[in-house]
Each structure stands twice: as structure tokens, then as C-alpha cells.
């Protein structure tokens, strides 16, 4: 049986089941900050609208992190169904429970701890399954999609939103323009950097029919905006992943923050949303 704990690489977001509290705190802060940004709010709003929810659907947020997306959906007027939020990290699940309670949403969201490769007890219970920045961190995307098919009602819908992280770049004043530090960030922060390019095929292979998609570019030019909340996290997570020393990570982030102050910052990554429905069999 495939498990996330079989992970070979240093992707810190994929190792939240075993990360130290300092790293987990940095990850939680980044997850919450980006969820509050207008870019992610637009993304969620657009895919929820595309789902055309009637209001009573059962929804699973798989790989929920701090539950930011589950909370965003639970707070919508047109969502009265129960939401289940699952993550492999007990720390992030507890953070999600606390934040849901603080926002008055605890009675709408059930938080559970589990590995996206194997959620045995919830077969066929959900109308909608959301994977928001999950598949770029899993050991085996095909197995996770197969599990999603089993968790959904026969013709339930899956939403996948994630980055094409092989396109992620932070420009620097290094002779290579930042190519080497981009490579190190890719090692430290993502396990499946190109998975969204393969997603239409992977969905089809697992019995889904693609119904809706949208492409985005998250680019900050001049000043850091969307990417600004990543920078303090990099000071902690790059050394945690073992790809830079604390001094190297600090110098790297100092220069990025300085470029933002001088209006010379550049960072960009492509993102995609895909919605697919389980194909009827028989």
C-alpha cells in the first residue's frame, strides 16, 4: 500500500506528518496568508461557482492543511452541507479546528487526520472532493485520484487546483538570474512539479471526465504581493529541507525583500484549476 510516509524527497510541505513545530508554524502561516489573498479568493470563488452547488452537497477538502479552503466554502451563503477536512498533519488539523471555532464554523466542518493515499472509512460519501494544492506534494498522484474516485458518489465531482511548479521562478541578481535558487526551491517545496500538465490524462485514467478548467498566472512585478508571505517562510523552510544553510536562506530572502522595496522584484508561477466528474459505469 502506498503511503505519504514513503516520500523520498525533502519537500517540506509533503512532510508535515513529521516536521518540527517551527517548520509547521511557518507552513501554517503561509497557508493562511495566501488564502486571504485576493488571488486565492478569486480562484476558490470561480471553482465553487463552476460547481453550481445546490447547497446541500457533502464536500471533502482532502489535504486541507489549516482548513482555510474548507472555511472559505463553509462561510458561503449557498453552502449548507457538511464539510469534511482531512490532512496528514495532526498539527495542521488542530490548527484548523481552532480557527474554525474562532470563526464560528466549527459546527459546519469535521476535521480528521488521514493520508490522501488511503482514506478507508469514507467510501462513496461525498458529492464533491477538493484537492487545493495537494497533488503537487503527494507520493503518487494516480493513487490519490483513485482514492478520490472511491470516496466520491459514482458521478461526484473532483476539483483540483495546483501550481505548475516547474514554472515557478524568483528573479535574482545572480549571473544565472536565479536559476539555481529556483532549482533548490523546487526540491524543497514540491514533489510533483509538473503534475498539472499530466492531470487531464491522469483524471481520464482514473474514471473521471474533465468538465471545466481555468489557467492562472500568479506574477508579482516590481513589488512582492502574492509571493510576499512566502518570503519569511523560506527563511525557515529552505534550511529545514536541507537545501540551504540558515545564513544562505537569510541572504537569499534579504535580497528578494530588498528587490521588492526597490520595485525590482519578479516572481511568477502558473496555476490551474480542473473540475471533473466521475464517469458512470454500467
Q: Would you list the domain boundaries of the chain?
A: 10-165+191-220+270-278
Q: What gap in Å lies between CA 27 and CA 74, rounded to an integer? A: 22
Span 235-271, pLDDT tens digits: 999 999 999 999 999 999 999 999 999 999 999 999 9
13 closest CA partner among 182, 137, 180, 156: 137
Beta pairing partners, 270: 164, 217
Span 112-121, pLDDT tens digits: 999 999 997 7
Span 7-57, pLDDT tens digits: 988 999 999 999 999 999 999 999 999 999 999 999 999 999 999 988 889
259 closest CA partner among 209, 226, 223, 228: 223
CA 23 and chain centroid, separation: 16
- Give the right CATH number for 10-165+191-220+270-278 from 3.90.1150.10, 3.40.50.150, 3.40.50.720, 3.30.70.100: 3.40.50.150
Span 120-178, pLDDT tens digits: 777 889 999 999 999 999 999 999 999 999 999 999 999 999 999 999 999 999 999 99
Q: What gap in Å lies between CA 138 and CA 115, rounded to an integer? A: 9
Amino acid at each position: 500500500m502506498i503511503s505519504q510516509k514513503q516520500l523520498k524527497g525533502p519537500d517540506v510541505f509533503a512532510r508535515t506528518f513529521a516536521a518540527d513545530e517551527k517548520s509547521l508554524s511557518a507552513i501554517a502561516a503561509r497557508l493562511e496568508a495566501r488564502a486571504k489573498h485576493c488571488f486565492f479568493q478569486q480562484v476558490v470563488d470561480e471553482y465553487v461557482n463552476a460547481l453550481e452547488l445546490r447547497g446541500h452537497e457533502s464536500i471533502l477538502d482532502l489535504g486541507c492543511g489549516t482548513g482555510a479552503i474548507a472555511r472559505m466554502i463553509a462561510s458561503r451563503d449557498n453552502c449548507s452541507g457538511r464539510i469534511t477536512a482531512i490532512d496528514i498533519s495532526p498539527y495542521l488539523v488542530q490548527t484548523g479546528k481552532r480557527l474554525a471555532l474562532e470563526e464560528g464554523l466549527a459546527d459546519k466542518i469535521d476535521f480528521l487526520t488521514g493520508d490522501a493515499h488511503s482514506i478507508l472509512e469514507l467510501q462513496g460519501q461525498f458529492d464533491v472532493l477538493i484537492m487545493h494544492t495537494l497533488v503537487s506534494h503527494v507520493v503518487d498522484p494516480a493513487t490519490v485520484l483513485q482514492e478520490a474516485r472511491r470516496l466520491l458518489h459514482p458521478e461526484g465531482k473532483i476539483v483540483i487546483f495546483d501550481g505548475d511548479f516547474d514554472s515557478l521562478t524568483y528573479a535574482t541578481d545572480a549571473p544565472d538570474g536565479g536559476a539555481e535558487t529556483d532549482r533548490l526551491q523546487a526540491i524543497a517545496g514540491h514533489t510533483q512539479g509538473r503534475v498539472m500538465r499530466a492531470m487531464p490524462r491522469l483524471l481520464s485514467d482514473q474514471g473521471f471526465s474533465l468538465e471545466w478548467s481555468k489557467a492562472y498566472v500568479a506574477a508579482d512585478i516590481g513589488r512582492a504581493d502574492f509571493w510576499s508571505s512566502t518570503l519569511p517562510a523560506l527563511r525557515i523552510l529552505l534550511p529545514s529541507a536541507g537545501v540551504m544553510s540558515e545564513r544562505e536562506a537569510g541572504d537569499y530572502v534579504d535580497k528578494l525583500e530588498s528587490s521588492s522595496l526597490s520595485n525590482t522584484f519578479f516572481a511568477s508561477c502558473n496555476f490551474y484549476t480542473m473540475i471533473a466528474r466521475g464517469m458512470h459505469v454500467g
